[in-house]
Chain A
Amino acid sequence: AQSVSQHNHHVILSEAASLELGCNYSYGGTVNLFWYVQYPGQHLQLLLKYFSGDPLVKGIKGFEAEFIKSKFSFNLRKPSVQWSDTAEYFCAVIFKAAGNKLTFGGGTRVLVKP
């Protein structure tokens, strides 16, 4: 079965530090890739997505992600985090061969210390 893995369950860093969250998915042919974020007390919301084209995708709030097809990876990055980036981040994949359903990774809780 197709799966999505996020390597870090918890990340703690200080403001202005750089952030990189790993996401790998199992082989499954054509994929659409997403990062979702859930801020404390808020709904899950879309951060960015990749369907095709430039493998470096820019999203909201200064986040970007890079699709590396050969590594089945879609890592999320932000050069300089703020306290307001404290949230849980979920990588999600649509494996086109399995229809249009989202398969989520287990999530990474990020705590940014002021």
Chain B
Amino acid sequence: EAGVAQSPRYKIIEKRQSVAFWCNPISGHATLYWYQQILGQGPKLLIQFQNNGVVDDSQLPKDRFSAERLKGVDSTLKIQPAKLEDSAVYLCASSLGQGAQYEQYFGPGTRLTVT
């Protein structure tokens, strides 16, 4: 079965610019997650969707970050405007359901560099 797809794989932008990342989860997976992984740290959950509804966005910097999953499948994460500290790998993951028993499958990530 195909895994979680993400694009682009790499992105370099200047501070104050905008950027968007795309994620296509595994087919049939109702739950989708976006994580931020800063160099030298573990992934940190930014937002969790169940179908097209937000379950948890408590760690999403809402003044500059936004995410949507309009049809309950693909998702986009946007940063506007970007700051230097947003340089990180952005990981998308998906699972069949939102309970702990459902394994999360991770995509390859998008490496963002903000200069």
Contacts and interface: CB of A to CB of B under 8 A. Distances in A.
Interface of A: 4, 9, 32, 43-46, 51, 90, 92, 94, 96, 99-107
Tell me whether chain B's interface is mostly helix, strand or loop, or mixed: loop
B56 A90 contact: no
A106 B104 contact: no
Given A43-B3, A105-B42, A106-B40, A100 B107 contact: no
Contact of B41 (A51, A92, A106): A106
Interface stretch (B14-22, B43-51, B60-68, B69-77): B43-51
A92 B98 contact: no
Interface in B76-115: 91, 93, 98-101, 103-109
Nearest to A94: B100
Nearest to B91: A44
Contacts of B42: 4, 90, 92, 104-107
B100 A51 contact: yes
A106 B38 CA distance: 10
20 contacts: A32-B100, A43-B3, A43-B4, A43-B105, A43-B106, A43-B108, A44-B43, A44-B91, A44-B106, A45-B105, A46-B104, A90-B43, A94-B100, A99-B56, A100-B98, A100-B99, A101-B48, A104-B43, A106-B40, A107-B40
A102 B45 contact: yes
A43 B107 contact: yes
Given A32-B100, A44-B91, A104 B44 contact: yes
B41 A101 contact: no
Nearest to B106: A44
Contacts of A94: 100
A45 B106 contact: yes
Nearest to A46: B103
A100 B43 contact: no
Given A43-B3, A101-B56, A107 B104 contact: no
A69 B104 CA distance: 24
